[in-house]
Amino acid sequence: MNKSKINMHAAVAYEGVEDFQYETLTMEAPQDNEVLVKIFGVGLCHTDLLGKNGMIPYPFPAVFGHEGAGIVEQVGKSVKKVKPGDAVVLSFRSCSYCDRCEDAEPAYCRNLLELNFTGRREDGSSALSNDKGPVSSNFFGQSSFATHAMCYESNIVKVDNNLPLQIMGALGCGIQTGVGAVTRSLAVSKGSSILITGGGTVGLSAVMGAALAECETVILVEPNADRRELAASFGATLCIDPNKVENVSAHIRSQFPLGVDYAIDATGIPAVQQSAFECLGSKGTLGLVGVTPPGVSPPGSIFEMINAGITIKGIMEGDSEPDTFIPELIEYFKAGLLPFDKMVSTYKLCDINQAVTDQHNGHAIKAILIP
Ligand SMILES: [Zn+2]
Ligand SMILES: [Zn+2]
């Protein structure tokens, strides 16, 4: 297939505008290192909304979206990993040459910010434009709230063409973050106890990760009853409605006087992070996955940390190396051990604003947008 410029559709975010605007844009032909992917489905993640709301510095107008999956349509001439027709799951982009990338830790790539959060290629251009000028692309190396996304070898994982591609993109961020936080970042031990605060995509994926890791006690704190019910089916041994108990950490301590071995906060709410910290037992580890606004300090105190040998760990993308971890997650999914499809609600991409509303008010857990 020849490389050529195309017209495509995307949900575009404008500064200070509440709703995404569904528009026609122009996408340039791929540069030598680029891969043009036709998107079959893209997950809606909280990080996209942080971007839309200006919480992540990103030049507007912009196309967000970072949980895409689809089929390769065009490739630049230096691309070796995939060819047109290959099915791919998209993830975050890394440089492949820094020390972190060489150590198979691309989630902590030294060049992650430039490659994922500038809205431009390294040469300063954008693959996307409308009739007024450039539109930011390259969000997580993809900007996949669109019919097409421009990607790179480091953020595409080739997968089996027979998979339900529409929903597979969720593996590339929310699900790998939740499962990986438990199995990779904290590398929890079999028979241990873990508390997970927040039962959205990441928290529920952490519950599935804890079940995969054979934790003995898996506690989820989540106000939404449907999510608690789903968590129980995913392997949570105790689900707590924080609105029904006076003090969550005292309630957990009353049942587990020695505290828990691990906690993961997927809410990004400082008061919830504090209560998770208070549940940790001796040598406990708290993994922070939910992002707070800039400037918020970690929970707890140095006094308590030293006395009990507590660790607080910031976690990016569940310490995933997408090339190896996404295929592993797909094997769990095929074996019925990672039934993430139970969390999914699908919407047309042009109905993205409805999906945002539904995910916000708890009617949808993982909204997947179909172009
Ligand atoms: Zn790197
Ligand atoms: Zn995400």
Q: Which two tokens stand for residue 187?
A: 């590398």
Cα–Cα distances (Å) from 191 to 24, 179, 199, 261, in that order, read 53, 17, 22, 10
Distance between Cα 335 and ligand 1 center (Å)? 32
Distance between Cα 6 and ligand 1 center (Å)? 30
The residue whose two tokens read 């308590």 is 304
Distance between Cα 74 and ligand 1 center (Å)? 25
Angle between helices 225-234 and 201-212 (to 10 degrees): 20
- Average the pLDDT over 300-304 and give the result: 97
- Average the pLDDT over 228-236 and give the result: 98
- Average the pLDDT over 85-101 and give the result: 98
**Model confidence pLDDT, tens digit, residues 8-25:** 999 999 999 999 999 999
Helix (H, G, I), strand (E, B) or coil at 72: strand
Confidence of residue 4 (pLDDT cuts 50, 70, 90): confident
Confidence of residue 260 (pLDDT cuts 50, 70, 90): very high
- Average the pLDDT over 31-52 and give the result: 96
The angle formed by the CA atoms of residues 104, 317 and 260, to the nearest 5 degrees, is 105
Distance between Cα 46 and ligand 2 center (Å)? 6
Return the ligand number nearest the Cα of 51.
Answer: 2
Residue spans in the chain of domains classed CATH 3.90.180.10: 6-172+339-370
Distance between Cα 108 and ligand 1 center (Å)? 7
- Average the pLDDT over 326-346 and give the result: 98
Neighbours of ion ligand 2 (CB under 5 A): 45, 47, 173
Distance between Cα 7 and ligand 2 center (Å)? 26
The answer to whether 133 touches 19, Cβ cutoff 8 Å, is no
Confidence of residue 56 (pLDDT cuts 50, 70, 90): confident
Return the ligand number nearest the Cα of 64.
Answer: 2
Percentage of the chain exceeding pLDDT 90: 96
Return the ligand number nearest the Cα of 155.
Answer: 1
CA distance 50 to 57: 9
CA distance 347 to 332: 25
Distance between Cα 327 and ligand 1 center (Å)? 21
CB count, 10 Å around CB of 346? 15
Q: Please tell me the predicted confidence (pLDDT) of residue 1.
A: 53
Q: Please tell me the predicted confidence (pLDDT) of residue 55.
A: 86
CA distance 79 to 86: 13
DSSP-derived secondary structure letter, 185: I
Q: Please tell me the predicted confidence (pLDDT) of residue 294.
A: 82
Q: Please tell me the predicted confidence (pLDDT) of residue 2.
A: 62
Return the ligand number nearest the Cα of 46.
Answer: 2
Helix (H, G, I), strand (E, B) or coil at 169: helix
Return the ligand number nearest the Cα of 317.
Answer: 2
Distance between Cα 61 and ligand 1 center (Å)? 27
Distance between Cα 48 and ligand 2 center (Å)? 7
Residue spans in the chain of domains classed CATH 3.40.50.720: 179-315
**Model confidence pLDDT, tens digit, residues 159-180:** 999 999 999 999 999 999 999 9
Q: Which of 130-139, 140-149, 289-298, 345-354 has the lowest mean pLDDT?
A: 289-298
Quote the radius of gyration of the chain (alpha carbons, Å). Answer: 20
Return the ligand number nearest the Cα of 176.
Answer: 2
Q: Please tell me the predicted confidence (pLDDT) of residue 269.
A: 96
CA distance 50 to 141: 17
Distance between Cα 93 and ligand 1 center (Å)? 9
- Average the pLDDT over 298-306 and give the result: 97
Cα–Cα distances (Å) from 102 to 108, 245, 292, 362, in that order, read 11, 47, 30, 40
> CATH code for 6-172+339-370?
3.90.180.10
Q: Which CATH fold would you assign to the domain 179-315?
A: Rossmann fold (3.40.50)
DSSP-derived secondary structure letter, 146: B
Q: Which of 42-46, 238-242, 256-260, 294-298 has the lowest mean pLDDT?
A: 294-298
Return the ligand number nearest the Cα of 95.
Answer: 1
Q: Please tell me the predicted confidence (pLDDT) of residue 293.
A: 81
DSSP-derived secondary structure letter, 142: T
Distance between Cα 282 and ligand 2 center (Å)? 32
Neighbours of ion ligand 1 (CB under 5 A): 94-95, 98, 101, 109
> Is the pTM higher than 0.85?
yes
Confidence of residue 227 (pLDDT cuts 50, 70, 90): very high
Cα–Cα distances (Å) from 143 to 27, 48, 104, 139, in that order, read 12, 10, 24, 5
CB count, 10 Å around CB of 17? 12
Closest CA relative to residue 180, chosen from 92, 70, 274: 92
Confidence of residue 149 (pLDDT cuts 50, 70, 90): very high
Q: Would strands 156-159 and 280-288 be described as parallel, antiparallel, or unpaired? A: unpaired
Q: Please tell me the predicted confidence (pLDDT) of residue 3.
A: 80
Return the ligand number nearest the Cα of 92.
Answer: 2
